[in-house]
């Protein structure tokens, strides 16, 4: 039986280095946002909103690269959930 996949995937793309403004160079989240993503009680609506917020922080070329990597990550997680 296949597992249902509907989890909102973290925007982390495993770069995890912070700039002088405490934003991750990989996903553009702040440290506080990163912590909030890990909490079980964080609402999906906040996660959706935060995804849009972090995308707005990215330049067009960076966003394209991040979106490609993020889509591959989501597909990999989805494929692993099928097994």
pLDDT in tens, 46-56: 999 999 999 99
| pLDDT above 90 for 2 | no
Cα distances (Å, whole numbers) of residue 63 to 56, 58, 81 = 9, 5, 26
The pLDDT-based confidence of 39 (bands split at 50, 70, 90) is very high
- Residue 4 pLDDT > 90: no
Query: Which of helix, strand or coil describes residue 49?
Result: helix
> Taking 50 as the threshold, does the pLDDT of residue 41 lie above it?
yes
The pLDDT value recorded for residue 6 is 59
17 touches 7 (CB < 8 A): no
């Amino acid at each position: 039986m296949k597992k249902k996949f509907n989890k909102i995937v973290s925007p982390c793309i495993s770069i995890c280095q912070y700039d002088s403004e405490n934003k991750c160079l990989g996903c553009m989240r702040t440290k506080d946002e990163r912590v909030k993503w890990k909490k079980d009680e964080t609402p999906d609506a906040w996660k959706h909103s935060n995804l849009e917020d972090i995308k707005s922080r990215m330049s067009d070329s960076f966003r394209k690269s991040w979106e490609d990597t993020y889509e591959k990550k989501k597909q990999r997680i989805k494929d692993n959930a099928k097994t």
